[in-house]
Structure 1
Amino acid sequence: LWLGWLQPLLKQRSHWQAELPRLQAQAAALAPLLRAREQQQQAQGRRPTLAGLRQQITAAGLAGSLHIETRDGRWHLQVRSVPADALWNWLLPLLADPAIELQQLQLQRTGDANMPAARISGNIVMAAQGGGHP
């Protein structure tokens, strides 16, 4: 009885007592990665909206310098003397979203060329992928 039934059960119990903490540590290490991946998939499933774009503009502190309107299902942004670093910090991650298509970008440096911080003015036209109105 000992060799055939109880000893294998005790060996299995000892094995899982040693293995369980390692598996729990791996699960704890992978949990944040899984949550980040789920959030990324949810974000990709969401279609960009004009309201969301306005929130991003406001959060970036550009609400006073960027004017946005919707025409023909596209977003038309008019940029007026925005600090270059602030514009790029907002625009580049936005354009990395595969759901947003950049259709036109006309920007130029404005102000004094000797200014240490460049300012940018111009127009940006974007559209949400998938058709319809953004």
Structure 2
Amino acid sequence: MSDRLRQSGFVDLQLARWRNRRGQIVAHWQRLAARERRILKVAALGLALLFSWFGLIEPPLEKMAHWQAELPRLHSQSVALEEVLRDMAPIAGEPVDLWQRLRQSLDTSPLNGHYRLAEAAESPPESVRVLFMDAPAGPLMEWLQHSAPELRLTITEAHLRRASATDTNGPVATVSGDIRLEPAQTAKETR
């Protein structure tokens, strides 16, 4: 492409124009008085300094000032967040182990006596399997909607069926089956 431009004379034409324009500028500069040259040099230096200040120095200084003002606020928010997270930690006397917390939650609900936790060999290492036998359906659904999320558990699999009972029109429906629960991922784990 550049060879074609040279052959067509485009490059030579542009160089000739540049030389002509440069010659005009030099001639105009030489016709100026020494005082005018000095004024133009000072003005050019002033413009260069203004450009350097407003274009290169002031923006980083403003960012530094902004972050120096923001850091104390962010630090106080971080401290407040740490306090909230510390308050969310298991209360003294509350079991730290997932199995103990799950067992305690089920024992204090109407589901006591209607469940069995699967052995470790029966469920994957990061999940808990709970087997329900003739459990009241209402309390079970309430426990799954409210208590399981409070324990930071998510339901990954559920197989429930209405328990075989002779009175299907009774006031309390019972269900049997198994539910697999896994610990909910925290924000740090999802990254």
Unmatched 5+ residue regions in structure 2? 1-82, 91-95, 187-191
Q: CA deviation at 1:63?
A: 2.7
Residue of structure 2 in register with 1:55 after alignment: 104
Q: Which amino acid aligns with 2:115?
A: L
TM-score by length of 2: 0.42
Residue of structure 1 in register with 2:181 after alignment: 126
Aligned partner of 1:42 among 81, 88, 108: 88
Comparing 122-131 and 50-59, the one that deviates more? 122-131
Name the larger-Rg structure. 2
TM-score by length of 1: 0.57
Q: Root-mean-square deviation (CA), in Å?
A: 3.1
- Where relative contact order (Cα < 8 A, 6+ residues apart) is larger, the structure is 1
Q: Secondary structure at the match of 1:103?
A: strand
Residue of structure 1 in register with 2:160 after alignment: 107
Q: Secondary structure at the match of 2:112?
A: coil
For 1:78-117, list aligned pairs within 5 A.
Answer: 78-97=131-150, 99-110=152-163, 111=165, 112-117=167-172
Residue of structure 2 in register with 1:72 after alignment: 124
Whole-Å separation in 2 of the counterparts to 1:81 and 1:120: 5
Residues 95-122 of structure 1 show CA distances to partners (whole Å, capped at 9, x for unaligned) of 4348322110111122231212111111
Residues 68-123 of structure 1 show CA distances to partners (whole Å, capped at 9, x for unaligned) of 12422211111100111221222211343483221101111222312121111111
Q: Secondary structure at the match of 2:169?
A: coil
Structure 1 contact 48–128 (Cα < 8 Å) conserved: no
Q: Secondary structure at the match of 1:102?
A: strand
Structure 2 contact 137–174 (Cα < 8 Å) conserved: yes
Using a 3 Å threshold, how does the CA distance of structure 1 residues 38 and 123 change in structure 2: closer, same or farther? same
Q: Which amino acid aligns with 1:56?
A: S
Q: Which amino acid aligns with 1:72?
A: P
Whole-Å separation in 1 of the counterparts to 2:155 and 2:86: 21
Using a 3 Å threshold, how does the CA distance of structure 1 residues 56 and 114 change in structure 2: closer, same or farther? same
Q: CA deviation at 1:43?
A: 4.8
- Percent identity between the two aligned chains: 22
Q: Secondary structure at the match of 1:61?
A: coil
Higher strand share: 1
